[in-house]
Chain A
Amino acid sequence: MTLRKSLRASIPDAIIYTVLIAAALAMLFPFVYVIAVSFTDPAVYVTGDVILFPKQWSLDSYRYILSSNSFLYSFRSTVFITIVGTVLNLAFSMTFAYALTKKQLPGRGIMLSLVLFTFLFGAGLVPNFLLIRELGLLDSLWSLILPGLTNAWSIFVLKSFIQGLPESLEEAALIDGCNELKVFYRIILPLSLPALAAFGLFFAVGQWNTYFSAVMYIQDADKWPLQVLLQQLMVSQSAIGSAEVRETLEHTLPEETVKMAALVVVMVPILAVYPFLQKYFAKGVLLGSVKG
């Protein structure tokens, strides 16, 4: 009887485990496949079957895409907009969020509505484009940084984070004669570091993934961020690697291994920071659901 009972109890478990593990494998498979192919020796790949593990390892595809300056330039652009964009976003969002926690501040209501309205309504794609053009920012990497200096969501989340800090610390500092600027960088800023780290990481991933703005604003191929370069490589078969390197390779490179290697190169930094991102998941998402 106990056997039957435990059997009955374990059937749903078996189903759940099977479904979830299958789902996880389905999620994982594309990564494994693409990484495997990108490392496969081109000659072996052409003959077929290399699905989960390369039979013959080779770095040819990587040597090829990294041989030209295109990847280097794009990498530089992307790193620039990621680092500068993230630092500036944190600075703008944090200072404004702190200001908005001051309930006694004259004009606070106006500033709050200023932010809130942008949450609901934006000027639209074409007016934004015209602005960037008028500002002379077309073909400048700043066009990928300045429009995202801060945003309603970051501000509201950081604001509710600051409001959650113990008020007594701030009051004590003010009584001790600290001015509000000092309170901000001596007390509020250090206490907010965990929130800022989480935010910075999430924002940095967004910057790293910048694609469409760059398509709109950047014509100069030397300034393209990685995502645009990758997309170009996906659609056009025009080679990006240098002809000399191509010569030195024993075989002509199949399109697939090159494309997959390019995708892996663009994806690896995200995979590298993923464990850190994970640490902040719950915090980030749940903070986001707190009303401003």
Chain B
Amino acid sequence: MGELKKEEKTIVTSSETTVRPGINDPRRQTGHLWKRVVKHKYIYLLALPSVIYFLVFKYAPMWGILLAFQDYSPFKGFLASEWVGFKHFETLFTHDMFWVLLRNTLGINLVNLIFFFPLPIVLALMLNEIKIEPVKRVIQSIVYLPHFLSMVIIVGFTYFFLSTDIGLVNKGLTAMGIEPVSFLTNPNYFWGLLTMQSIWKEVGWGTIIFLAAIAGVDQQLYEAAIVDGAGRFRRVWHITLPAIRSTIVILLIMRVGHMMDVGFEQVLLMLNPLVLPVGEVFDTYVYKQGILSGQTSYSIAVGLFKSIVGLVLVMLANRLAKKFGEEGLY
């Protein structure tokens, strides 16, 4: 003990300014720290607005999560409302609705995964085969465009084509003497309809990341393959596809990590009473219960359940992605 103190003293005396405190003295560290803080005072000034933003708009509402464990009444307020523990979660898990919500959420995602996910890859591979630059550019410009349109407009287009009253498709069917098909109100078509909209809106946009990965392939590989007599299909199969395999795997894992998320605006806009049994998902249910019916505590509990499952899935997906030797998303 004494030896240590002695050592400290020697350090102090050996330093040029004797006022500077010892190395293990917290004052020394804060002094140092304070100096760095002062040095960067303008940086803090620049960061301040965003820090306040995050605290107010991202962290303050997290207190609201506590309401999930209360029987919150807006008249009594947060302090006077009764604490009820996990009551709302029990209500949710024993409610028939829970299984409906889970089935619809996973079902919509699964259909999307099977029918949407491979398409941008196929489209990117095909675009890459086009050697006439202007043609390629025109096609790209067209297929990227719908990405920027709002969901209201996408649903509007759907309505103009598929509704029974003014839909072009049904007008065509009627003209051919076929009974109109109620695409928008038949529960059997609902998941497929959502997937079709997603394809129309996002398939082009989805190719960008694959095209970038393809562009990164060493051209010499292709040249060598041509010398070896590999045909076109073999070049795609043995060079291009393996080159973008890790991109595909990562996107697939991340996609699975988001199995609890659905395009909320899209589902909400497409919902109608007839498709409710196959269309109601966690997000729309939370909105209706919480905002429209005033079931504040219950709806927050439902939302919290969904967020936590979603968080766990994303974290698992990220870990899995790292296992595949990729960087992961965070």
A263 to B150: give the CA distance in the assembly, Å: 10
B330/A120 in contact, CB under 8 A: yes
Q: Is A155 an interface residue (CB 8 A)?
A: yes
Q: Does B75 contact A (CB under 8 A)?
A: no
Question: How many B residues touch the partner, as a band?
Answer: 35 or more
Is A263 in contact with B37, judged by CB distance below 8 angstroms?
no
Question: Contacts A95-B47, A211-B151, A267-B153; is A20 near B126 (CB within 8 Å)?
Answer: yes
Beta-carbon contacts of B104-139 to A below 8 Å, as 1s and 0s? 000000000000000000010011011000010011
Q: Which of A27, A209, A234 contacts B142 (CB 8 A)?
A: A27
The segment out of A10-18, A62-70, A163-171, A241-249 that lies at the interface is: A10-18
Main secondary structure of the interface of A (DSSP, over half): helix
B93 in the interface, Cβ–Cβ < 8 Å? no
CB pair B153–A230 under 8 Å, yes or no, is yes
* Interface status of A285 (Cβ within 8 A of chain B): yes
Contact of A286 with B212 in the complex, beta carbons under 8 Å = yes
Asked if A99 contacts B46 (CB within 8 A), the reply is: yes
A277 touches B148 (CB 8 A): yes
The residues of A that contact B98 with a CB separation of less than 8 Å are none
A266 within 8 A of B: yes
Identify which of A9, A216, A271 contacts B291 (C-beta below 8 A): A216
- CB atoms of A124 and B304 under 8 A apart: yes
Nearest to A115 among chain B residues (CB) is: B54
| A222 interface residue (CB < 8 Å to B) | no
Q: Is the CB of B311 within 8 A of A230?
A: no
Contacts of B142 in A (CB 8 A): 24, 27-28
Q: Size class of A's contact patch?
A: 35 or more
Flag whether B243 is at the interface (Cβ < 8 A): no
| CB pair A180 B152 closer than 8 Å | no
Contacts of A286 in B (CB 8 A): 208-209, 212
In the bound complex, CA of A92 to CA of B283 (Å): 29
> Chain B, 205-234, contact with A by CB distance < 8 Å: what is the 0/1 string?
000110010000000000000000000110
A126 touching B286, Cβ below 8 Å = yes
CB-defined contacts of B37 to chain A, threshold 8 Å:
106
In the bound complex, residues from chain A placing their C-beta under 8 Å from that of B89 are none
Q: Kindly identify which residue among B46, B64, B161, B299 contacts A98, using a CB–CB cutoff of 8 Å.
A: B46
| Contact residues in A for B143 (Cβ distance below 8 Å) | 23-24, 27
Given contact pairs A17-B130, A92-B50, A106 touches B33 in the complex (Cβ within 8 A): yes
Q: Is A127 a contact partner of B67 (Cβ separation < 8 A)?
A: yes
Stretch at the interface among B9-17, B185-193, B262-270: B262-270
**A175 proximity list for chain B (CB < 8 A):** none
Contact with A along B138-169 (1 / 0, CB 8 A): 11011111101111110111011100001010
Distance A228 CA – B56 CA, assembled complex (angstroms): 27
Instruction: For the complex formed, measure the closest distance between the CB of B262 and the CB atoms of chain A, giving whole angstroms.
Output: 13
Question: Which 5 A-B residue pairings sit nearest by Cβ, starting from the closest?
Answer: A127-B64, A209-B150, A96-B50, A123-B61, A99-B47
Q: Which residues of B line the A interface, CB within 8 A?
A: 33, 36-37, 40, 42-47, 49-51, 53-54, 56-65, 67, 123, 126-127, 129-130, 135, 138-139, 141-146, 148-153, 155-157, 159-161, 166, 168, 200, 204, 208-209, 212, 232-233, 264-265, 268-269, 283, 286-287, 290-291, 296, 299-300, 303-304, 307, 311, 314-315, 327, 329-330
A-B contact pairs, 12 of them (CB 8 A): A12-B233, A96-B50, A123-B58, A123-B62, A124-B300, A125-B286, A125-B303, A127-B61, A130-B67, A155-B50, A184-B42, A230-B152
